[in-house]
Every structure is written in C-alpha cells, then in structure tokens.
Amino acid sequence: MKKTLVAVAAFAAMTGAMAEVTISGFVDGGVQSTRSTTTGGISSTLTSAGSNGAGQSQLTFAASEDLGTGTTAFANIRINPGIFASTIGQDVSEIGLRGAFGSVLVGRDYGIDFLTHAAADASGWTSAAVGVVHNADTSTGNAVVYILPTMVEGLGIVLAKGLAGASGGNGDATAYKLTYKTGGFMGEYAAYTATTKSASASVWAEDFTIGGTATDTEALATGGTVKGSTIALTYDLGVAKLHGGMSNVAASADGDQKASSYMYGVSAPFGATTLGLTISAADRTNAANTTKKATGYRVKAGYSFSKRTSGYAAYGSQSKSSTTAKDTQTMVGVIHNF
C-alpha cells in the first residue's frame, strides 16, 4: 500500500508544476535463535531481535514527472530505517528517464543477480538466513543501467555498467539480465564480469561466501577478474509453485578460485497460510585448491492477518560436509507493509 503526498518545490511553485511523491515500504521485526556447533563439537546459542523474515525493513520515497512526448522522469531513494539499530543505512538510490526507448538510470541498486537468487528460493529470500547456502549476490554501486523496451512479449532485458571511480578495491563491472515469463513459467539469467583494483577487493570476494560464513571469503589479487552467472526457474501450478536455480563464479589471476551452488524447492498456499521449503548446496575451491562444501534446508510458514500485515515462522539447518560444523536457526516475527 502506498501513501501519496503532493510536494511543491521552489521550481514547481514558479512554473505551476507539481510533483507526486509516494512513500511506501515495510517494517519487519522478530526474534531469532541460532545454535552453532564448531568443528571441535562445542555448541553455543545466540538469541536476538531483528529484521529477519524479509530482510531489512525498508522505507522508499519515489517521485516522477511527466515530461510530455511519452517521457517520464523518475527518482527513487530507499533506506533501511534500522529499528533494531542506531543507524540508518542507504540501500537503493537512482534517477532516470523512461519512455518508448525503455529506461535509463544512474545510481545504486542491488546486484544484477540478487533478485535472481531470490526467485529460486521457495522459503522466502533473506540472503543471510541459515539453511539457504549459496554464492553471495554481487553488490552494485555507481552504476549506469539500461532497461530495454519490450520487443518480444514476456521478455525483459537489462544491461548495466558499474563504474569504479575512486572506490578502494572495486574495479569496473559489466552485467546483464534476461527474464522471460509466459503462463505460469518464469526463467531468469543474470551474468556479470568484474575486475579488481587492489587485493582488498572484498566486495567481489563475497561471491565466495557459502552458508553466510564470512570466514569462507578470500580477497582477490590486484587485476583479477571475476565472472559469475545465476539462473532461476519457477513454474506456478496453481496449487503449488516449483522453484529452482544454480549459480557459478570463477576468478582469474588468483589461483583460479571458483564456486558453485544450487537450490530447489516448493511453495504452496493454504488459504491465508503459505508454506515454503528450500534445499540447497554449495562448494568453493580457494587459491590453495582446497574445496569446502555446504548443504542446508529451510522451511518457512507465513500467515496473512490482512492485506498489509502477516506473521511468519521459519526453521533452517546447514552444515559443511568437510567438517562437523553445523548451524540451526529458528525465527518468528511480523511484517507490516504500508
């Protein structure tokens, strides 16, 4: 649900024009309990409150103006209010033009493969949730994006160029995404190529994180190249929806690091309740040619109290097959959309 405000800026006051601004978002709050077992067999449990079921709470300001001749100017700013933290973090900011030529925008957004990973997860995507092991999605900043107009019914094409500028370890990146929808079927393919400017390029090293464990990352060498691709397939049968996907990442100039992952599952509505189950696995080979593997599963139940408010409960379990390390997580919470 969106709330609409009418904002009159100084320029608009002089010209008589008015700009429409919409405010939307959601607040997600809950409690989660995570039990971790180390390679030595020592277990510990951490219980905390936070934004859990749908990721970080979000607040979005969106504005647009009709420029005539079928062209619209638009701008979006999305922030994470952080109701369980003391800071407000910026998430997505972009400005652009759309028309018969498609859409051209500049700014910051999720990585090209973020929503592709999300489509493959039947348990409701939260990128750090225990039980959904995967190659982490990329980060995209300082990007120029072109969304092509629809030329074939059901087909969407996105092209993106990430510009490094003066940022520390990040190099330039190119990316694209193809999406095709027909009937109950959806297929999506996202790919990117990125370079590194220094060995501290942690942004691209995140692509080798599995099971949400930061210690599995490894910085890339200066001048290294990372290439990644992710595919997601879903089919809505009406009574249930099938989900599946896989991802591959490879890095050169640094011992040829590589990683791959896959996930599959099913989600189904039962009146006001929706159930989802995802099974996943991932592996990563580092510069020393050591391979780590992880497997996991996650089940989630959501219940709609109304069109804007829902509750959820989830349980996930993951382990590294090369060791005895294991994590389990239980979470419950409420989401309110506005």
Burial of 30 (C-beta count, 10 Å sphere; 0-12/13-18/19+) = buried
The span from the CA of 227 to the CA of 209, in Å, is: 15
Q: Determine the Cα–Cα distance for residues 60 and 37; give it in Å rounded to an integer.
A: 39
Find how far residue 248's CA is from the centre of its chain. Answer: 16
Residue 234 DSSP SS3: strand
> What's the 3-state SS for 102-156?
EEEEEEEEECCCHHHHHHHCCCCCCCCCCCCCCCCCCEEEEEEEEECCCCCCCEE
- Is residue 336 over pLDDT 90? yes
In tens, the pLDDT along 104-145 reads 998 887 778 888 988 999 998 776 678 888 776 665 567 889
Predicted local distance difference test score (pLDDT) of residue 221: 62
CA distances, 129 to each of 102, 136, 217, 328 (Å): 35, 12, 17, 10
Nearest to 234 by CA among 269, 265, 201, 193: 265
Three-state secondary structure call for residue 214? helix
CATH of 27-51+103-337, one of 3.90.930.60, 1.20.210.10, 2.40.160.10, 3.40.50.300: 2.40.160.10
Asked if the model's pLDDT at residue 150 lies above 80, the reply is yes
- Domain locations in the chain as residue ranges: 27-51+103-337
| pLDDT for res 20 | 76
The set of residues, in sequence order, having a beta carbon less than 8 Å from that of 110 and lying 6+ positions away, is 92, 137, 140
Highest mean pLDDT among 43-47, 129-133, 255-259, 275-279: 275-279
DSSP letters, 9-54, are -HHHHHHT--EEEEEEEEEEEEEEEEEEE-TTS-EEEEEEEE--BT
How confident is the model at residue 256, as a pLDDT? 61
CA gap 175, 113 in Å, rounded: 9
Share of the chain above pLDDT 70, in %: 74
Least confident range from 77-86, 176-185, 204-213: namely 204-213
Q: What is the value of pTM for the model shown? A: 0.84
User: Of the segments 62-71, 73-82, 135-144, which one has the largest average pLDDT value?
Assistant: 62-71
Q: What is the pLDDT of residue 159?
A: 92
Of 7-16, 114-123, 158-167, 179-188, minimum mean pLDDT range: 7-16
